[in-house]
């Protein structure tokens, strides 16, 4: 709420989204699309309800999001990003890329929501064999199953299971599951850390970057 009063583009951006929780609200709206108040609350564990209401109001007046009344069958108010708000995706991307190395540190009492793996997955994975038939990975960790699949060269994550059987299923604690997914851990290390890997392990290698693995993420 308090402005830096600096004629600098970075400071101006922080005047809009620099308050505590604001960028995480944007993250949640990018991940979920138009959302109800209570869905945002569920996706933002730890936020006080008055703060969520405050931030939504502020971000609305600042043009980052807008409130729409859902049509009769649903009859609830939805919060969704404006075009300008969606442009904050580049900021979120940069935060995620910088933060992924921090995910290797222990995370005992951290909250976790399955959808949060979407960003690291999409930003750190790419299809190294776009010519071959598409593949799907089912990830079972956190509050809901997630599917990570290829579609013509791109890698995409979404909540839910696959229609058909996935090529490989990863189940277990969030940390080593993420570590295995993005290539910080080998299959063997992830197994030791409690990850169940079922199916064709080679699809993991197909999506992983060609970078060197990172010191153990097995918490």
Partner DNA sequence: CAGCATCCGCTTTGATACTG
Partner DNA sequence: CAGTATCAAAGCGGATGCTG
Q: Is 91 in the site for a second copy (CB under 8 A)?
A: yes
DSSP bridge pairs for 81? 65
Q: Is 47 in the site for DNA (CB under 7 A)?
A: yes
Q: Is 45 in the site for a second copy (CB under 8 A)?
A: yes
Number of residues that bind DNA (CB under 7 A): 22
User: What DSSP assignment string belongs to 117-163?
Assistant: GHHHHHHH---S-TTSPP-EEEEE-TTS-EEEEEETTEEEEEES--S
List 38, 68, 74, 87, residue binding a second copy (CB under 8 A): 87
Q: Put residue 136 in one of left, alpha, beta given phi > 0 → left and psi -120 to 50 → alpha.
A: beta
Q: What is d(CA 35, CA 43) in angstroms, rounded to the nearest whole number?
A: 10
Binding-site string for DNA from residue 48 to residue 87, where x marks contact by CB under 7 A and - marks none: xxxx-xx-xx---------x--------xx----------
Radius of gyration of the chain (CA): 19
Binders of a second copy among 149-188, rule CB under 8 A?
174-175
Residue with Cβ nearer DNA (110 or 196): 110
Residue with Cβ nearer DNA (12 or 57): 57
CB under 5 to 8 A by kind: which of DNA, a second copy, none does 198 bind? Answer: none
Torsion of CA 187, 193, 199, 200, to 10 degrees: -10
Q: Is 46 in the site for a second copy (CB under 8 A)?
A: yes
Nearest approach in angstroms of CB 129 to DNA is 42
Residue with Cβ nearer DNA (20 or 210): 20
CB under 5 to 8 A by kind: which of DNA, a second copy, none does 97 bind? Answer: a second copy
User: What DSSP assignment string belongs to 22-83?
Assistant: HHHHHHHHHHHSSB-HHHHHHHSTT--HHHHHHHHHHHHHTTSEEEEEPPTTT-SEEEEE-H
What is the pairing mode between strands 168-171 and 154-159? unpaired
Q: Is residue 62 within 8 Å of 25, Cβ to Cβ?
A: no
User: What residues make contact with a second copy under the rule CB under 8 A?
Assistant: 4-16, 18, 20, 23-24, 27, 45-46, 87-88, 90-100, 102-103, 107, 109-113, 116, 119-120, 174-175
Question: Residues interacting with DNA, by CB under 7 A?
Answer: 1-2, 19-21, 36-39, 46-51, 53-54, 56-57, 67, 76-77
């Amino acid at each position: 709420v308090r402005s830096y009063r600096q004629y600098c583009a970075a400071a101006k951006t922080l005047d809009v989204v620099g308050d505590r929780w604001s960028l995480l609200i944007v993250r949640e709206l990018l991940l979920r699309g138009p959302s109800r108040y209570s869905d945002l609350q569920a996706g933002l564990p730890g936020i006080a309800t008055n703060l969520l209401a405050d931030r939504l109001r502020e971000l609305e007046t600042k043009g980052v999001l807008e409130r729409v009344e859902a049509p009769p069958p649903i009859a609830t108010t939805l919060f969704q990003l404006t075009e300008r708000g969606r442009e904050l995706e580049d900021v979120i991307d940069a935060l995620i890329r910088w933060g992924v190395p921090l995910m290797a540190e222990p995370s005992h009492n951290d909250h976790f929501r399955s959808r949060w793996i979407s960003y690291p997955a999409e930003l750190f994975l790419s299809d190294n064999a776009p010519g071959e038939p598409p593949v799907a990975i089912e990830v079972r960790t956190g509050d809901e199953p997630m599917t990570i699949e290829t579609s013509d060269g791109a890698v995409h994550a979404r909540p839910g299971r696959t229609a058909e059987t996935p090529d490989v299923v990863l189940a277990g604690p969030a940390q080593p599951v993420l570590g295995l997914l993005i290539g910080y851990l080998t299959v063997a290390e992830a197994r030791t850390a409690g990850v169940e890997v079922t199916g064709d392990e080679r699809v993991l290698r197909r999506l992983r970057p060609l970078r060197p693995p990172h010191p153990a993420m097995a918490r």
